[in-house]
A and B are shown apart, each in its own frame.
Chain A
């Protein structure tokens, strides 16, 4: 499958992913239009620091959205601490304090699975380094809904549990190291 007509990018990551996401955001074209939703495992009770840290190098605006906020171009949305982030059919964000999933809130599976349902083949899902299996099922849902999937090559991961769990469930469209993911994103039209 080769699709470039994406409307949304969702990225999941856990242990070790901050530096990868930082690298991606620093290297993206300044005119990169597609909204990006980040669902990263983070300390539940530390509200500040992560969005500020990611904003330091990013050429795009990075925010933690409020509930019911519409996804906009040129913007990166980071799931807030202690909230799940779901993507709705109308292109808005729905936050939730429902039960933790895989010991995580935000849960990567929840973000990826909801986006898969809402955006189907217009979705690009990227799963990065991490230390548990959260995200694997969400990535499979993206694949099942004909979205495009990229999994970070386990050889390039700080901790490869998360990508390996995903690879047990489905075969992604691409297995890439962070530098190649960045080239892929910058080559997308628009």
Chain B
């Protein structure tokens, strides 16, 4: 099925009728690719059929899943994970308890985070909060499901990160599928819902991983999303973007650039009022 720009706008407008399905500010070209792909696989040939199928919750779940682009692998960009493990996770604010992935998809960033926390023997009191618009994605992440097609790449990245062959001891086979080991996934909790409309109500978020998500937003939504995340982050906490993500200049000014190559930013710690300065 060929979808034009006006068709995409009509479909995304119709999706608004359902909770947590506001995709109006996603990039039009991204929506065109994903909706066309889903329509082709579902053998939907006309826009009207697509619109009619929106009334079906099962189809809407398929759509939400389709609009979550999988992480490409575990430990994508090994240098970043090394920096997190050795430098930034040990330096999290004392009160930090939550490590938030606002738009997790296939779970691989969550698993990578759980694994480096484990290997670095960092506090197991950290909760990894993986949020996804898709209930199916949440179920998969809570079950620790790993995309088997990424196995070789995961293994190779792990070797580059850790310089040893221990990756496979963290993988278990359950019912013919690969899962991350239960002791690693026990600290991963899922929150279903789009982070733009539902955020965790907590003030102890010390790290936000938001890698390669803003790629699929238009500039306005990307700015809005980053504003929301910066506000949700506790002072002294870290925000990590994808290597090529766009960071608007006005927001970047509010943050400390900790590592420009790996795109790690820190929200400044609020300074105590310096009363001495006002004594005359």
Contacts and interface: CB of A to CB of B under 8 A. Distances in A.
A64 to B, nearest CB: 8
B142 to A, nearest CB: 23
A86 B29 CA distance: 9
A67 B72 contact: no
B69 interface: yes
Interface in B124-171: 156-157, 160
Contacts of B214: 67
A89 B32 CA distance: 13
Contacts of B246: 66-69
A99 B70 contact: yes
Interface of B: 27-30, 33, 69-72, 76-77, 156-157, 160, 212, 214-216, 219, 222, 242-246
B252 to A, nearest CB: 12
Contacts of B215: 67, 94-97
Given A66-B246, A88-B29, A96-B216, 4 more contacts: A64-B244, A82-B72, A89-B29, A97-B71
A94 B29 contact: yes
Nearest to B79: A47
Contacts of A14: none
A114 B244 contact: no
A98 interface: yes
Interface of A: 45, 47, 64-69, 80, 82-83, 86, 88-89, 94-99, 105, 114
A68 to B, nearest CB: 4
Nearest to A88: B29
A82 to B, nearest CB: 7
B29 A45 contact: no
A80 B29 contact: no
A99 to B, nearest CB: 7
A98 B77 CA distance: 16
A55 to B, nearest CB: 17
B30 A94 contact: yes
A96 B67 CA distance: 13
Contact of A114 (B29, B77, B243): B29
B33 A98 contact: yes
B137 to A, nearest CB: 16
Nearest to A117: B29
A115 B245 CA distance: 21
B191 to A, nearest CB: 22
Nearest to B219: A68
A88 B216 CA distance: 12
5 contacts: A47-B77, A89-B29, A95-B244, A96-B215, A98-B69
Contacts of B71: 97
Contact of A96 (B28, B69, B156, B219): B69
Contacts of B70: 99
Nearest to A64: B244
Contact of A82 (B27, B76, B245): B76
A38 to B, nearest CB: 15
A88 B244 CA distance: 16
Contact of B244 (A45, A67, A99, A105): A67
A66 B29 contact: no
A64 B157 CA distance: 22
Contacts of B216: 96
B244 A80 contact: yes
Contacts of B219: 68
Given A66-B244, A66-B245, A67-B244, A45 B156 contact: yes
Contacts of B30: 94, 96
Contacts of A67: 214-215, 242, 244-246
Contacts of B242: 67, 97
Contacts of A64: 244
Contacts of B212: 97
Contacts of A83: 244
Contacts of B33: 98
B20 to A, nearest CB: 22
Nearest to B28: A89
A100 to B, nearest CB: 8
A65 to B, nearest CB: 8
